Amino acid sequence: MSKVFATYKKHHKDSPEGHIYLDKEGACTITLEGAASMSQYQLDRYGEAMAEGINKLYWGTRRGEVEDE
């Protein structure tokens, strides 16, 4: 099992919000805010997909599977 680099956590506020945390030194957080018509559930699905994509790209690059441009 590989180590997780990016994790998504929902953050309940007045409107849909979430954060993607990156496992790096210092504070590395990506904040996601939903559109006015977006539900927390929808934002959570997008946030989870983004974190998964970041993990695949990060670990693929580390293993040399992804070419740098």
In a domain, 58, yes or no: yes
In a domain, 67, yes or no: no
Closest C-alpha to 34, from 46, 50, 17: 17
In a domain, 53, yes or no: yes
**pLDDT exceeds cutoff 80 at 68:** no
In a domain, 69, yes or no: no
> Which residue range forms the structural domain that includes residue 19?
6-62
Closest C-alpha to 19, from 31, 28, 7: 31
In a domain, 68, yes or no: no
Confidence (pLDDT) at 50: 96
Question: Counting beta carbons within 10 angstroms of the beta carbon of residue 4, is it exposed (0 to 12), middle (13 to 18) or buried (19 or more)?
Answer: middle
In a domain, 17, yes or no: yes
Type of residue at 27: A
**pLDDT exceeds cutoff 70 at 3:** yes
Q: What is the pLDDT of residues 21-64, one digit of tens each?
A: 999 888 789 999 988 889 999 999 999 999 999 999 988 887 77
- Based on the structure, what is the number of domains in the chain? 1
Give the strand pairing for 6-10 and 17-22. antiparallel
